[in-house]
């Protein structure tokens, strides 16, 4: 027996129906927020990811040489392809608001909430450097979660990269990039290891302890000064602090809950230039549900022109784990779905004719092909999760009234042909 590859997943109908519903909610809300769909190849030149992330990306990608000796990779993330598309079109009016839901691949050790192949919702705004754009991006992510029944079950942690760089500099850091990477792993590494690495980068033990204590806290957006004020006079950082508060205030004033300032949220990717954010379940059981931030400089790597940009990604694996944990991994199609049973040759022929006419009218149905036993046919319809059964025999054909049974209530009624077409 051939087994599927490690880190990859199969999806049977009972899961795919839920997944398609989730993706439809993502698309619907993206369009409501004014985002337009894009798509791009699953294969790209490896060089594009080298430009963005350096040689270390090689160990995390499914890469190979094609017949033309070009280095190719299955795309491990969405942003480079999106920026490549943007850079190739100089005629696009700004701001550009794009979204897509591609498959992505990373050759990493599979863990809970992280697979080697996953689907990810991405949304980006280019050409708008305002706090409103930041709030729009976070608001879209939150609206999707709220639409899936997750309101009150998650929190959004916000920070500002430049603000953290200042705090690290004041604390004595001589390697900001390294320390950002350490902070990004704050919840995954034990305290002694973090303190050792921070101290070895120039802070000293006392400052490293101070930073560690700061990283473990979360503040309501309105109380951000309470934490930041430990490190410097706020007048020195008014602009950065104001930017976080402005973004957070827009969100909270428009009904979004649990928007927090969290110093340990820095996002490890070096290309972020401003606000960064991540969404987590309130209980802290899972990895981040979504994450993103502002990356105003990335376009210069592809086109030489700086374009303000902010975006987020929301993967399917953690979202599935959270929804299953909360008993939300289900969805019921409210449209009627008919299983048509034709009794005898005459009834069977009528069932075939009826099924095609129903489909032309947009009614979901199939006909029973499993023999003449009515009891078994009813069991089949129930196991396939049809909402109604239509039974057609000699009497139904003569009276031009079909027998329709509701599989949930057991109620059985006679329905005229033209009335079935209206459902």
- Averaged in consecutive runs of 10 residues, what is the pLDDT profile of the chain (423 residues)? 94 94 98 98 92 76 95 94 93 96 94 93 97 97 97 96 88 86 86 87 85 88 81 70 92 94 84 92 95 91 87 97 96 85 93 94 90 86 92 92 93 89 72
CA atoms within 13 A of residue 224's CA, in its CB half-sphere: 27
Residues contacting residue 16 through CB under 8 Å, at least 6 positions apart: none
State the Cα angle at 390 between 387 and 395, rounded to 5°: 160
Q: Are 40 and 88 in contact (CB under 8 A)?
A: no
pLDDT of residue 99: 98
Task: Give me the helix-helix angle, 191-198 and 205-215, nearest 10°.
Answer: 130
- Rounded to whole angstroms, how far apart are CA atoms 120 and 28? 15
**Strand order of the sheet with strand 63-65?**
43-45, 71-74, 63-65
Region 337-420: CATH code: 3.40.50.800
State whether residue 412 is helix, strand or coil. strand
What radius of gyration, in Å, describes the C-alpha atoms of the chain? 27
List every span in the chain annotated with CATH 3.30.930.10: 13-325
Q: How, if at all, do strands 71-74 and 63-65 pair?
A: antiparallel
Residue-level pLDDT at 59: 85
Instruction: Give the CA diameter of the chain.
Output: 92
Residue 158 has what pLDDT?
A: 96
- Residue 381: the pLDDT is 94
| Span(s) in the chain for CATH 3.40.50.800 | 337-420
Tell me the whole-structure pTM to 2 decimals. 0.91
Question: Given this model, what pLDDT does residue 336 score?
Answer: 86
CA distance 288 to 154: 10
For residue 390, the model assigns a pLDDT of 96
Residue 342 and residue 349 in contact, taking contact as beta carbons nearer than 8 Å: yes
Fold that domain 13-325 belongs to in CATH? BirA Bifunctional Protein; domain 2 (3.30.930)
């Amino acid at each position: 027996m051939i087994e599927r590859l490690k880190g990859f997943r199969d999806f049977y109908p009972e899961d795919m129906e839920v997944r398609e519903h989730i993706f439809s909610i993502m698309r619907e809300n993206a369009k409501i927020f004014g985002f337009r769909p894009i798509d791009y190849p699953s294969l790209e030149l490896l060089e594009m990811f080298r430009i963005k992330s350096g040689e270390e990306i090689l160990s995390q990608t499914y890469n190979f040489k094609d017949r033309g000796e070009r280095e190719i990779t299955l795309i491990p993330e969405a942003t480079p392809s999106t920026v490549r598309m943007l850079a190739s079109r100089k005629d696009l009016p700004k701001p550009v608001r794009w979204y897509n839901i591609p498959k992505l691949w990373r050759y990493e050790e599979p863990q809970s909430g992280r697979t080697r192949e996953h689907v990810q919702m991405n949304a980006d705004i280019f050409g708008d450097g305002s706090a409103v754009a930041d709030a729009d991006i976070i608001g879209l992510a939150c609206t999707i979660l709220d639409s899936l029944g997750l309101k009150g079950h998650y929190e959004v942690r916000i920070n500002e990269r430049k603000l953290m760089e200042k705090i690290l500099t004041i604390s004595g850091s001589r390697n900001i990039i390294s320390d950002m990477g350490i902070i990004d792993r704050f919840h995954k590494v034990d305290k002694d290891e973090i303190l050792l690495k921070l101290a070895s980068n120039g802070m000293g033990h006392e400052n490293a302890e101070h930073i560690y204590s700061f990283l473990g806290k979360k503040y309501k957006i309105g109380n951000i000064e309470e934490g930041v004020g430990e490190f410097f006079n706020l007048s020195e950082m008014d602009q950065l602090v104001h930017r976080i508060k402005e973004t957070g205030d827009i969100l909270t004033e428009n009904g979004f809950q649990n928007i927090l300032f969290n110093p340990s949220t820095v996002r490890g990717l070096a290309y972020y230039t401003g606000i960064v954010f991540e969404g987590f379940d309130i209980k802290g059981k899972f990895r981040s549900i979504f994450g993103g931030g502002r990356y105003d400089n990335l376009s210069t790597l592809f086109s030489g022109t700086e374009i303000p940009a902010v975006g987020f990604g929301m993967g399917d694996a953690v979202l599935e784990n959270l929804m299953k944990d909360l008993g939300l991994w289900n969805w019921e199609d409210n449209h009627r779905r008919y299983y048509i049973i034709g009794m005898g040759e005459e009834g069977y022929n009528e069932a075939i004719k009826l099924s095609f006419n129903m489909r032309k009218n947009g009614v979901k149905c199939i006909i029973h092909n499993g023999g003449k036993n009515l009891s078994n046919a009813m069991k089949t319809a129930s196991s396939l999760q049809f909402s109604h059964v239509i039974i057609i025999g000699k009497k139904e054909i003569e009276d031009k009234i079909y027998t329709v049974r509701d599989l949930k209530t057991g109620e059985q009624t006679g329905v005229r042909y033209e009335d079935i077409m209206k459902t």
